[in-house]
A = this chain, B = another copy of it.
Amino acid sequence: MSSKSVPDIVVARLPLYLRALSAMQTSGKVFTSSQEMASWLGISSAQIRKDLSHFGEFGKQGTGYSVTSLQDTLRSILKIEREWPIVIIGAGHIGSAVANYSGFAHRGFRVCAVFDSAPGKIGLRIGQHIVQDIAYLPKVVQDYGVKLAMIAVPADAAQAVTDLAVAAGILAVLNYAPINVIVPDTVRIENIDPVLHLQHMTYYLA
């Protein structure tokens, strides 16, 4: 059933399902089942069925799910049938790596500009892009209708740069700086900090 607010944790798993389905398609599968996806992902089949049931009925009893049509369905639920432009702020090691990353292209995103504030960085070529002065951020965001930004600046600049992005009209932020950035609650933010993962795992090491 499709209305009445799906739990966020369910939404968070859909991209994972989509990623598994892509891999299945690559390996030539035409149909799959909740149990096959489950064993692939290391979760329970009931969870997959329950998650999908929040959005509708996409499977055939006895047969399972069509790999391509479930992909299409998930893409449309996640609003990535379209291609979203993203800006990257920060042209250091991480920003450069992300700007060069080829994995956005077929998953719903396209890097449309890279910004930095350091005179030494502005004008440099990174992959397809020329690093622009961050002063042009608002113009690019407006002109291209950019909603998503990735923040790849040092921790002590992250809040200021995020404030700029939000003021320019950015509505979703993926933050690589190892610090908690505050945004208005009209804006979504998620964080990537590899050290957090490492510290989590060391807890379990003998």
Residues on A lying within 8 angstroms of B by beta carbon are: 11-12, 14-16, 18-20, 23, 40-42, 77-80, 84, 86, 93-94, 96-98, 100-101, 103-104, 107-109, 147-148, 150, 155, 171-172, 174, 178-180, 182, 188, 190, 192-205
Contact = CB atoms under 8 A, between A and B. Distances in A.
A63 B190 CA distance: 32
Nearest to A195: B107
A202 B98 contact: no
Contacts of A40: 180
Q: How many copies does the complex hold?
A: 2
A98 to B, nearest CB: 7
A196 B94 contact: no
B14 A203 contact: yes
A193 B97 contact: no
A101 B96 CA distance: 12
A79 B205 contact: yes
A42 to B, nearest CB: 7
A152 to B, nearest CB: 9
B200 A190 contact: yes
Given A19-B178, A188-B204, A150 B194 contact: yes
Given A192-B197, A195-B109, A196-B15, A172 B93 contact: no
A203 B171 CA distance: 12
A20 B181 CA distance: 11
Contact of A195 (B15, B97, B198, B199): B15
A109 to B, nearest CB: 6
A27 to B, nearest CB: 11
